[in-house]
Chains A and B, each alone.
Chain A
Amino acid sequence: DTEVTQTPKHLVMGMTNKKSLKCEQHMGHRAMYWYKQKAKKPPELMFVYSYEKLSINESVPSRFSPECPNSSLLNLHLHALQPEDSALYLCASSPSGQGQGTGELFFGEGSRLTVL
Chain B
Amino acid sequence: AQKITQTQPGMFVQEKEAVTLDCTYDTSDPSYGLFWYKQPSSGEMIFLIYQGSYDQQNATEGRYSLNFQKARKSANLVISASQLGDSAMYFCAMRGPLFSGGYNKLIFGAGTRLAVHP
Contacts and interface: CB of A to CB of B under 8 A. Distances in A.
Interface stretch (A20-28, A59-67, A69-77, A107-115): A107-115
Given A42-B108, A103-B33, A55 B45 contact: no
Interface in B96-118: 98-111
A102 B33 contact: yes
Contacts, number: 84
| Chain A contact surface mostly | loop
Contacts of A105: 45, 47, 104, 106
What's the dominant secondary structure at chain B's contact region? loop
B68 interface: no
Contacts of A56: 103, 105
Contacts of B107: 45
A45 B105 contact: yes
Interface in B62-118: 91, 95, 98-111
A42 B45 contact: no
Interface residues of A, number: 34
A86 interface: no
Contacts of B57: none
A107 B109 contact: no
B111 A109 contact: no
A98 B104 CA distance: 11
Contact of A103 (B42, B91, B106): B106
A37 to B, nearest CB: 8
A98 B43 contact: no
Contact of A2 (B44, B98, B100): B44
18 contacts: A30-B102, A31-B102, A33-B103, A45-B107, A50-B99, A50-B103, A90-B43, A90-B45, A96-B101, A96-B102, A98-B102, A99-B102, A100-B98, A100-B102, A102-B35, A105-B47, A109-B43, A112-B43
